Amino acid sequence: MKIALDAMGGDFAPFEIVRGAIDAVKAFPNIEVVLVGDEARIRDVLVEFGQENNPQLIIHHASEVIEMNEHPGTAVRKKKDASVIVATRLVKQKVCDAVIAPGSTGAAVAAALFGLGRIKGIDRPMIATPIPTPQGVTVMLDSGANANCKPKHMVQGAIMGSEYARLMFGKENPTVGLLNIGEESTKGNELCLSTYPLLEQLKTIPFKGNVEGRDIPKGTVDVVVCDGFTGNVVLKLAEGLVGVMTQLVKEGIKEGGIMAKLGAFLIYPVFKKIRKRLDHTENGGAPLLGVNGVFLISHGSSKAKEILTAIKIAGELVDRKIIENIQHSIEEEGAIKYDDVD
Amino acid sequence: MKIALDAMGGDFAPFEIVRGAIDAVKAFPNIEVVLVGDEARIRDVLVEFGQENNPQLIIHHASEVIEMNEHPGTAVRKKKDASVIVATRLVKQKVCDAVIAPGSTGAAVAAALFGLGRIKGIDRPMIATPIPTPQGVTVMLDSGANANCKPKHMVQGAIMGSEYARLMFGKENPTVGLLNIGEESTKGNELCLSTYPLLEQLKTIPFKGNVEGRDIPKGTVDVVVCDGFTGNVVLKLAEGLVGVMTQLVKEGIKEGGIMAKLGAFLIYPVFKKIRKRLDHTENGGAPLLGVNGVFLISHGSSKAKEILTAIKIAGELVDRKIIENIQHSIEEEGAIKYDDVD
């Protein structure tokens, strides 16, 4: 198993990215990591940890980097030797089995589409994000690859998300919901109104109808389908809300004197248990489903721990044959009549 | 000051609604509440509390009720004597100064549009929801009146939301952000891409550019503009997330034994303080801005406390002349060149 890692991606590259790779090859003896990026800078980190001769860690030089503020489409066309492009090419050429791209989502999606193409039957790739719930995990897609979606993209997302939920989270026959603003099929924006009857006609997917915002953290269904604009707002809102609440509690304890501090100490195991219970998702990254190769997008703020996890997840996605399974489920579903509404 | 209250709206009507009105007229001697709905049932509640002769509480009979599952447009046309329609008519006829409608948002919006019409220069009314933040309040609109919005609706929303934030939350020159999935003006879905330059050209509004999901709970700007689909998902997600977290903490404390319970007891004042700090919004209802009359939509789950607060807010909206001020700010902004992009 060989995994191509964009060692220049994200806020803490290359140091934290390389460190994550070092930890990963220790933990997973069957995995080799190809570190793609500035050879000298990557080597420096390997030397620092005495890993420059580790045969599981291979440097693959790439002279350019796509910055966060660049226009993804333009950057991908211009910077042929950018680390994320080169890493993706290694998968296309079957040198590697998967790509991990920390950092700019836009650049990652562009690089993946450009370098790997799409699975037959898929018009747009989607980012699938596992969201922790009290029962386990709900997969939400698209969480940001396509700001504008058409009904057919939503239908394809339902099929891809189901495969991902089945293979990675052990859901036998995953239920699917359409993110909407009411339960009735007559509710919603134009996209939802057109998508609902298409999802209803799917033969292989147990479509449970509309779900609402509150159903996502509750885990009402296994897979939530939405457009990439809404999905991205949902993810960032949840992140912000948890962040603000945590900050307020910390400040409150600080200002609350000795009793509050003692209370916090006594109640800490409860919060630790909740965090553990919600930590099924192992925050390493979200796969870009629908491109013709395993492609994992990691958060721009990823440090060694997240990269280690991302490498583990990428390995599992390869092992469990996510691409072949999506291909198969698209074929199994057969012709979907959506040409008239797109 | 006379406020028309749909006494038949919401899950706990008429008992809790009438009880809220009784509490309100005690608290606000200058307010009269016109209770609209089934005369006998409303009278029963008044008699139960010995208030049947209170001159501040006036019953106005209405023979029909719009149920939660009815199609709003159809119901509003068919049920001419529905409580929400009759209550709205009282404002149109200048018998009352404001309407409060607990229950179905769709029916409320339809009744308001049908009964009051729009303020000149406003194409679509929007629901403005105050969201608590550590610094105070962020106003988000539209939070559910229009599942599909056009750029011009967003621009009008920015102006209406600013007036609301200024009049009700003391923001002198409220900042406005466009809810989007990236900071750059080139990011987002088609609606955002078309809306951004229009907001930029506003003369009277300090437009701060795009904000992301995480900025809503942080309170980065005073007014967040979005389409009603996204806004509704945001509200319900936040509600669900807070609910799930609270439930998990309660369960954890229950299972955590005596130490966890002691910890919870000691830390309780911290949480109480946070809740108070976040409770600037006084969860009584959200105004439907843009219709030609003060119209407040209360949650379907409203009990007496929420109705009391709604009556207080409705009174303030009338006192502070929200309608006249929106009218004035629309005129002051002058012609907005958006006809070509809608």
pLDDT 10s digits, A310-323:
999 999 999 999 99
Residue where a domain terminates, one of A252, A282, A312: A282
User: Are A93 and A221 part of one and the same domain?
Assistant: no
pLDDT per residue rounded down to tens, chain B (342 residues): 999 999 999 999 999 999 999 999 999 999 999 999 999 999 999 999 999 999 999 999 999 999 877 888 899 899 999 999 999 999 999 999 999 999 889 999 999 999 999 999 999 999 999 998 988 899 999 999 999 999 999 999 999 999 999 999 999 999 999 999 998 888 899 999 999 999 999 999 999 999 999 999 999 999 999 999 999 999 999 989 988 888 888 888 888 888 888 888 888 888 888 877 776 666 789 999 999 999 999 998 899 999 999 999 999 999 999 999 999 999 999 877 665 554
Contact map slice: A 301-340 vs B, CB within 8 A = none
Which tens digit of pLDDT belongs to each residue from B117-173?
A: 999 999 999 999 999 898 889 999 999 999 999 999 999 999 999 999 999 999 999
Angle between helices B15-27 and B39-48 (to 10 degrees): 60
Q: What residues in chain A have per-residue pLDDT under 70?
A: 279-282, 337-342
Contact map slice: A 5-64 vs B, CB within 8 A = none
Instruction: Select the residue of A69, A179, A234 nearest B213 (Cβ to Cβ).
Output: A234
User: What does the DSSP 8-state code read for residue A189?
Assistant: -
Q: How many CB atoms lie within 10 A of CB A247?
A: 12
Angle between helices B105-116 and B83-92 (to 10 degrees): 30
Q: Taking CB atoms and an 8 Å limit, are A134 and B247 in contact across chains?
A: yes
3-state SS of chain B is CEEEEECCCCCCCCHHHHHHHHHHHHHCCCCEEEEEECHHHHHHHHHHCCCCCCCCEEEEECCECCCCCCCHHHHHHHCCCEHHHHHHHHHHCCCCCEEEEECCHHHHHHHHHHHHCECCCCCCCEEEEEEEECCEEEEEECCCCCCCCCHHHHHHHHHHHHHHHHHHHCCCCCCEEEECCCCCCCCCCHHHHHHHHHHHCCCCCCEEEEECCCHHHHCCCCEEECCHHHHHHHHHHHHHHHHHHHHHHHHHHHHCHHHHHHHHHHHHHHHHHHHHHCHHHCCCCEEEECECCEEEEECCCCCHHHHHHHHHHHHHHHHCCHHHHHHHHHHHHCCCCCHHHC
The number of helices, as runs of H, and strands, as runs of E, in chain A is 12, 11
User: Are A296 and A246 part of one and the same domain?
Assistant: no
Q: Taking CB atoms and an 8 Å limit, are B241 and A240 in contact across chains?
A: no
Q: Which ipTM value was assigned to this complex?
A: 0.91
Residue where a domain terminates, one of B282, B309, B336: B282
User: Are B143 and B79 part of one and the same domain?
Assistant: no
Residue A327: phi, psi to the nearest 5? -50, -50
**Contact residues on chain B for A218, CB-CB shorter than 8 A:** 240, 243-244
**Does B218 fall in a domain?**
yes
User: Are A146 and A259 part of one and the same domain?
Assistant: yes
| Cα torsion angle, A300, A303, A306, A311, sign | positive
- Most A CBs within 10 A among B133, B244, B278, hence the mutation to make, goes to B244
Residue B337 corresponds to which tokens in the numbers above?
A: 């060149």
Q: Taking CB atoms and an 8 Å limit, are B148 and A189 in contact across chains?
A: yes
Residue B264: predicted pLDDT? 87
**Contact residues on chain A for B236, CB-CB shorter than 8 A:** 181, 212-214
**Does A219 fall in a domain?**
yes
With a CB cutoff of 8 Å and minimum separation 6, the contacts of B212 are A232, A233, A236, A240, B179, B180, B181, B182, B183
User: Are A134 and A200 part of one and the same domain?
Assistant: yes
**Does B341 fall in a domain?**
no
Q: Which helix (H) or strand (E) holds A275?
A: helix A257-277
Residue A342: predicted pLDDT? 47
**Does B340 fall in a domain?**
no
**Does A332 fall in a domain?**
no
Q: Which domain covers residue B299, as residue numbers?
A: 1-122+290-324
Residue B305 corresponds to which tokens in the numbers above?
A: 């406390």
Distance, CA of B34 to CA of A47 (rounded, Å): 80
User: Are B248 and B136 part of one and the same domain?
Assistant: yes
User: Are B151 and B265 part of one and the same domain?
Assistant: yes
User: Are A145 and A110 part of one and the same domain?
Assistant: no
User: Are B139 and B155 part of one and the same domain?
Assistant: yes
**Does B250 fall in a domain?**
yes
- CATH assignment of the domain containing B257: 3.40.718.10
Contact map slice: B 224-243 vs A, CB within 8 A = 226-230, 232-243
User: Are B84 and B216 part of one and the same domain?
Assistant: no
Q: For A148, name the nearest residue in chain B, comparing CA atoms only.
A: B189
User: Are B70 and B212 part of one and the same domain?
Assistant: no
Distance, CA of B152 to CA of B225 (rounded, Å): 12
Number of domains observed in the structure of chain B = 2
**Does A261 fall in a domain?**
yes
User: Are B28 and B163 part of one and the same domain?
Assistant: no
Which tens digit of pLDDT belongs to each residue from B290-313?
A: 999 999 999 988 999 999 999 999
**Does A334 fall in a domain?**
no
Q: Which residues pair with B102 in a beta bridge?
A: B298
Instruction: Select the residue of B179, B215, B259 nearest A266 (Cβ to Cβ).
Output: B259
Residue A234 corresponds to which tokens in the numbers above?
A: 């949902």
